[in-house]
Amino acid sequence: MLTLKINREENEYDIYALVTSFYPECGLKVVIEDSDLADTDSDIIYASLTPEKKNKGFLRFLAGDMLSGNMCYEFESSEKEPAAVKKQWKLFLYDSLSEYTGRTLPWGALTGVRPTKLIMGMLNEAEDSGVTAYDVRSQVEKDLYDKYRVSGKKAELGIEIATLESSILKPFVNEDGYSLYIGIPFCPSRCLYCSFTAFPIDAYSDRVRSYLDALKYEMEQMRIYMNGKEPDTVYVGGGTPTSLDEQNLELLLQYIGACVDIKSLKEFTVEAGRPDSITPGKLKVMKKHGVTRISVNPQTMKEETLKLIGRRHTTDDIRRAFGEARDAGFDNINMDMILGLPGETLSDVERSFDEVAAFRPDSITAHSLAVKRASRMKQWIAEHGAITGLDADKAMLKANETAASLGMKPYYLYRQKNMAGSLENTGFALEGKYGLYNILIMEEVQSIVAIGVGTVSKRVHKDGSGLIERCDTHKDVSLYLSDLEAMVERKKKLFGEGK
Ligand code: SF4
């Protein structure tokens, strides 16, 4: 176990994110205290900043069994503004960790989940300075390295995506629009790596109808506090929305249709997801109610892995569900894949992508496995040891090559903590099949009204302040049902009823 000692709580997130990226296989214990480190035989990384100005500090390595030797790097900032000092400190931490370990990270010191939002801002700034398009790109690439140590490859990818997103988002940037997210927190079973709000539907069958009625109530209230304004997109996610039986799925879609003008939507997604929950009847119901985009998610095409991660479906189920979705007339089908699943080698990943390519989906989302604290995977690793020897970089390259061979472009990207290889999740799509909601939520250009268990609504203020306010809902179904009125009131307050 590696101990990360920090002398100030406010520094915790950045340091923690960086150290776990450099030491992904080590358990990390965080201790917040100010003390001189005496001789010790345990492995300690100690990050300390001076109390007031925080413009001086150090990063010290004390080696036990894991670290390679004792070392201390000194920090002194030349900046005056606290925000600039903080940036310098973060870069110092990255450079020190990089020098000590002899490794670099693809995204450098960038630990945020939305690199393309940052890059979009940098591109706009460089464009405003009046330089040529070529110079804009090279300026941003240089800044990404100088300020964050982002590798050339990742800078190129980020710039490509941010440029495409900017053109897709143009109509939304100045509009005070919003999208509607509806959360269905039920699944056929819980996957090993899951950290979402998702409960086995069989155990909740007696509460499903009350839950749908609560969603209906929330949607009716939303009509009032959004002054009858129609959303641009609707996204039904979860969980697995198609874990609802056919009657309940139809009821949900009827409720949505009663509150939203489906014909005016720019996109209507139901993230079907789990192939074991998809039936011809449910596909017919979704088509009838105007759903334009669905997902059939394999995650892997390796049978043993599907069993190991608790998906309770086979590769034949994936083939069947995808074929039935095409037969039902869906011409915008996404497939999610995960890189870095337990025991998978590079050739497993390559085989899976080759099989997925044969389906000719309209988009593919390649996720790098992120091991979350709330997942059973954390326990699994504790019992079974390191997950995989997968070369995450080469696996992501395969995802890129597969998407390119199908004529897809990368169109959105986000990162999470503890991702395999410190990489990213990338969405690839054919032209015109980009998941609009995905871009809108990632780049935060419009508000999201989110209803249901474990969801987070977001108000993006359009007054030039850049202010974004959030409001979450209970993660427990019973609590959500009993406290519905209070949650609706909070959303009314967030979106400014009557303004
Ligand atoms: S399908 Fe998705 S939401 Fe459901 S248990 Fe698996 S990872 Fe979690």
pLDDT digits (tens, 9 = 90+) for 185-244: 999 999 998 988 899 999 999 999 999 999 999 999 999 989 989 999 999 999 999 999
- The closest-lying atom of ligand 1 relative to the alpha carbon of residue 297 is 1
Contact residues for 18 (Cβ-Cβ < 8 A; gap 6+): 90, 93, 94, 97, 109, 111
- Nearest-atom number in ligand 1 for the CA of 310 is 6
Q: Is 296 touching ligand 1 by the criterion CB < 6 Å?
A: no
How far away, in angstroms, is 228 Cα from ligand 1 center? 33
How far, in Å, is the centroid of ligand 1 from the Cα of 311?
Answer: 8
Burial code (b: 16+ CB inside 10 Å, e: under 16) for 79-111 equals: eeeeeebbbbbbbbbbbbbbebeeeebbbbbbb
Q: What are the tokens at 200? A: 């086995």
pLDDT of the residue at 38: 57
The residue type found at 384 is H
- For ligand 1, the distance from its centroid to the CA atom of residue 115, given in whole angstroms, is 25
Across 468-483, average pLDDT: 96
Q: What is the mean pLDDT of the chain?
A: 91
Q: Is 6 left (phi over 0), alpha (psi -120 to 50) or beta?
A: beta
> Is residue 421 very low, low, confident or very high in pLDDT (cuts 50, 70, 90)?
confident
pLDDT for residue 45: 93
Instruction: Give, for ligand 1, the residue of 192, 195, 196, 278 to mutate: max count of ligand atoms closer than 8 Å to Cβ.
Output: 196
SS3 of residue 460 by DSSP:
strand
Average pLDDT of the segment spanning 252-275:
96
30-34, 113-117, 428-432, range with the lowest pLDDT: 30-34
pTM: 0.91
Task: Report d(CA 473, CA 457) in Å as an integer.
Answer: 8
Ligand 1 close to Cβ of residue 372 (< 6 A)? no
Residue 39: its pLDDT value, please? Answer: 53
Q: How sure is the predictor about 31, in pLDDT bands with cuts at 50, 70 and 90? A: confident
Position 9 scores a pLDDT of: 72
| The pairing of beta strand 28-32 with beta strand 456-460 | unpaired
Ligand 1 binding pocket includes 240 (Cβ within 6 Å): yes
- What's the whole-number mean pLDDT along residues 53-58? 86
- Atom 2 of ligand 1, residue of closest alpha carbon: 239
Query: Could you identify the atom of ligand 1 that is nearest to the CA of residue 311?
Result: 6
Q: State how far the Cα of 144 lies from the Cα of 293, in Å rounded to an integer.
A: 34
* pLDDT confidence band for 499 (50 / 70 / 90): very low
326 C-alpha to ligand 1 centroid (Å): 23
